[in-house]
Amino acid sequence: MDQPSHLRSLQALELALRTGSLKGAASKLAITPAAVGQRVKALEDYLGFDLVVRGRSGLQPTLELSGALPHLHAAFRELSLAADQLELQQRQQIRIAAASDIVDLWLAPRLFAFQAKHPNVELEINGEGDLPRRMRAADCEIFFGPVGDARSQDDRLGELLFHDHVLPVTSPENERRVAALGGSARLEGFPLLHVDFYRNDPQAPKWPEWLMSQGLTRTAPERGIRFQRITPAMDAVIANAGFAMCGIALLREVIEAARLSLPFPMSAGRRTSHAFQVRFCAESLHRPQLRHFRQWLLAEGAETRRWLEPHAG
């Protein structure tokens, strides 16, 4: 018997008997019940005897098949295990969940360095990327939240990447204009933008309290455009739309490119109590690419901390 040519028929036969019906086998194979029946019939025609009969509880093996059936079931169990093992060995995929601001401003600009070292690793971030779409949990989650606070369903704590440092940021043009004005009321007339990304952090300063702490005055500092996200707020600031109270940990690239300015000393800012953290799925960390990614991500977090230290004072 030329076994490979009948593998699909044997698969259909095994599934039909395991599920008890052609319909059950068809569901697992994503074909029609008629197609399953045709595959089983082709095998019966080749052998010259029936392999299945209908019983009260569904399809049953004939006497001719009953002796071989345990071996058939065992063979497909082994094939399934082999397929799982090969997928485990070849899987070079990482699924990442993170807030869009973290991805756009911090993670994405750095990923080219990781991918240069690991060109065979495919990344999917928030459901977008090169991986086939499957219903599977993320391998890791990058988030901003209280340190030591487990918010995942399995109570996993996050590993620290870095805290943030919040203070006013503006465009280079607006920085020059304010510096020329001078005085305690020098922000009067300039729009104040509010970034809600930090609203739950008890240490992140808000405009009214920050102005008071710096001895500055400004009419109705609680008013102004509110932004849920950092990225559009920074786009507005770069377009000379005003001053924003914002953390700088995610803004290194635009600050060093002189697209954003820090018009006040770093000592005027405040370190957040919340932090950017990463949480890995425990089941994923046995995969080498996840261990490499974790090591790389924690190193990038440490580098951001080093960059912030002299700035934050």
- Over residues 124-155, the pLDDT tens digits come to 888 654 444 443 568 899 999 999 765 544 45
Q: What is the CATH number of domain 92-313?
A: 3.40.190.290
Give the pLDDT band (50/70/90) at residue 93: confident
**Residue whose tokens read 């304010």:** 178
Work out the burial of residue 6: count CB atoms within 10 Å of its CB; fewer than 13 is exposed, 13-18 middle, 19 or more buried.
middle
Q: Which residues pair with 193 in a beta bridge?
A: 244
d(CA 200, CA 186): 29
Q: What is the CATH number of domain 3-90?
A: 1.10.10.10
The answer on pLDDT for 232 being more than 90 is yes
DSSP collapsed to 3 states, 46-85: HHCCCCEEEECCEEEECHHHHCCHHHHHHHHHHHHHHHHH
Q: Fold identical between 3-90 and 92-313? A: no
Which is nearest to 64 in space by CA: 53, 51, 55?
51
Write out pLDDT tens, residues 27-68: 777 678 888 899 999 999 999 999 999 888 888 999 999 889
Listed in sequence order, the residues at least 6 apart from 223 whose beta carbon sits closer than 8 Å to its beta carbon are 192
d(CA 83, CA 143): 34
> For the chain, how big is the Rg over CA atoms in Å?
30
Domain boundaries, the chain: 3-90, 92-313
In the chain, the amino acid numbered 169 is V
**Model's pTM, two decimal places?**
0.68
Which is nearest to 264 in space by CA: 245, 285, 289?
245
Q: Which residue has the higher pLDDT, 263 or 82?
A: 263
Predicted local confidence at residue 34, as pLDDT:
87
